[in-house]
Structure 1
Amino acid sequence: MSDLQITLCFHEDAGQVDRDRLNDIVSTLERTHFSVTELNLANTTNQDINSAFQDNHIVIAYGGDGTVHHVLQHVINCPKPPIFAIIPGGTANDFARTLNMPMNPVKAAEMIVKQQTKQIDIGQFNDRYFLNFFGIGLVTETKQAVSESGTKATLGRFSYYLSSLQSLNAPEPFSVSVKSDTRHYEGDAIMVMVGNGQYTGGVRAFFNQADMSDGAFDLLIIKNVSARSLFEIIKANITTDPKQLEGIEYFRATDIDITTTPPQQIDCDGEDGGTTPVNITILPQHITMITGDTSLFQK
């Protein structure tokens, strides 16, 4: 049998790649009929990446959510998109958790060898794609505060959300119009989240019932509630029926227009996504991804 081509992508200057661990991952993949090409994203151009992905069977993003987001943009634009896989190597590894991939990188490589796949929805706005979430408001403010303080590596993203919320007595509300194919909301809010995956910051914080292949987003609008109330909502992990929570608008949609006053910074899978206004659409089962144990998928 001829070797199947794999490109293993990573950011070696991001402080997340252990060379010995990387060698173990490559050895695990090459014990089967895979031929692995390593691609350090730190010193490649977009053209180099696009060229490297041609005629690949699988493209792997090894790293954190930022690396996954970066690689996704190129995978999705391939004329014949390869299977996409994630080997967790960051702080939160949110979408890898939704896929039930092992958090141990070598065990994740062993799972990739099994080639167990699922068709996954992805979100799109402008020319950007996302797997996990789109957010505006407090989600971007806490990210910026922690990026400046340098506490992400020690606390993890969700922990620093909670830490930041405790220190914010009066989050600044903004005016928002959310028009979708299912519902229209107009009023004040301190945060809007559009979810495809289940995890934020390594735990099921906002969308623990989300289904990544059902062809719809889960949309959460947190109105002008106090930071303390929001802290309690998030700490409680928004379980089975967030519609019952005071100060929350929760619904599902496939096409969403968001307009805000003033314009709001966008957080897209933890990366800078520009500013509002924006139209978000879902591309149902648009990409094939390697999954972990399917018996663990939430029904």
Structure 2
Amino acid sequence: MKKAVLIVNPSSGNEEAQEYEKLVKEKLTDIFDEVEVQHTGDTGDATKFANQAVTDKVDSVFAMGGDGTVNEVISGLAEQEHRPKFGFFPLGTVNDLARSLNISMEPEEAVAELDLDRRIALDIGKVNEDYFMNIVAVGGIPEAISDVEVEEKTKFGKLAYFTSGFKQVLKDESYHFELEIEGEKRKIESSAVVIALTQTIGGYGHIVPEARPDDGKMYLIYLKNQNVLDMVKSVPDIIKGIDHSTDYIGYQPFIEGSLSVKEEVDLHSSVDGDEGPGLPLRFKILPQHLEVYVGPQKK
């Protein structure tokens, strides 16, 4: 008997989950012999439900929610001996992974396009003991973005992240970091260091054009800014897409590394948009680790 578990965050997407849950359940019931629905109430619930699905050896686990919900479900499946196939219906603010997998931002369309024969083996990133599917970011700007309240995300969407980040830019605060990438050490000064898995960052497409969801690589990006003017000068490079280092941006694909900060500060990472572990950080890639359902190829 083929069973699926649907994990729903009722507060995602301006509480649209309640509206679309019935539609998703009807679709899954047509495909699977049994469909179990679980609703999250607190942080960590989605991971707990995914862990139980692993124990029950279900065929597939689906998530309905934003990037935080998707991250929690993936965290409950990663590095398990039995890993159910994974699918999701995006309802949040940014949805970087969905954009990279050609999953529609329109819930009805995403449900209609679900095809169990269309899937890839997705890379998962690991930072210390946490997992990520989009980005890990460190520095004043990423910290400001991760501090955006849920109410602001719901009301203003991506604009809430932009506004919070811009306020941090005006503070002109950078840190001295030590990087170790593929065994090579270097020291940098930067206000923002990003480890990306997807082309899309913050809902803006093709920031990392060579990134593929199953290429077995992470992508290091950092601002080489010494002042606000340098940061402003980096914007054109970011907009046109980053595939090499420039005067204002550092860039390198890698598979394993670490990051520490020289200052005596309590500096935390942002993992897929939520607060993550404090520095120092260790990164590794879990290549082609999780079978995930994807949308149709764009024409």
SS of equivalent to 2:221:
strand
Amino acid at match of 2:274: E
Superposition CA RMSD, Å: 2.5
Amino acid at match of 1:6: A
Name the counterpart of 1:273.
276
Q: Distance in 1 between matches of 2:241 and 2:208?
A: 10
Give CA deviations for 1:6-35 in whole Å, capped at 9, x if unaligned. 111112245534423110111122223453
Name the counterpart of 2:20.
21
Q: Is the 1:209–1:240 contact (alpha carbons within 8 Å) kept by the matching residues of 2?
A: no
SS of equivalent to 1:31:
helix
Percentage identity across aligned positions?
A: 23
SS of equivalent to 1:134:
strand
Q: How many residues are aligned here?
A: 292
Instruction: State the shift of 1:247 in Å.
Output: 1.9
Name the counterpart of 2:40.
41
SS of equivalent to 2:225:
coil
Name the counterpart of 2:112.
110
Q: Is the 2:146–2:275 contact (alpha carbons within 8 Å) kept by the matching residues of 1?
A: no
Q: Distance in 1 between matches of 2:46 and 2:218?
A: 32
Instruction: State the shift of 1:203 in Å.
Output: 1.2
Judging changes above 3 Å, is the alpha-carbon distance between structure 1 residues 244 and 258 closer, same or farther for their aligned structure 2 residues? closer
Name the counterpart of 1:164.
164
Give CA deviations for 1:209-253 in whole Å, capped at 9, x if unaligned. 311211111110112244455356446644355535322111111
Q: TM-score with structure 1 length normalisation?
A: 0.87
Give CA deviations for 1:61-120 in whole Å, capped at 9, x if unaligned. 110000001111111143310111121011111111111101122322233334311011
Q: Is the 1:137–1:190 contact (alpha carbons within 8 Å) kept by the matching residues of 2?
A: yes
Structure 1: which 5+ residue stretches go unaligned?
Answer: none
Instruction: State the shift of 1:183 in Å.
Output: 5.0
Q: Which moved more, 1:283-292 or 1:15-24?
A: 15-24
SS of equivalent to 2:198:
coil
1:87 paired to 2:86: no
Q: Distance in 1 between matches of 2:18 and 2:164?
A: 34
Name the counterpart of 1:51.
52
Judging changes above 3 Å, is the alpha-carbon distance between structure 1 residues 67 and 228 closer, same or farther for their aligned structure 2 residues? farther
Name the counterpart of 2:98.
96
Give CA deviations for 1:132-175 in whole Å, capped at 9, x if unaligned. 11110134332245329x53223323x33432344332421111
Q: Which moved more, 1:85-94 or 1:112-121?
A: 112-121
Judging changes above 3 Å, is the alpha-carbon distance between structure 1 residues 227 and 45 closer, same or farther for their aligned structure 2 residues? same
Q: Is the 1:169–1:228 contact (alpha carbons within 8 Å) kept by the matching residues of 2?
A: no
Q: Which moved more, 1:221-230 or 1:111-120?
A: 221-230
SS of equivalent to 1:19:
helix
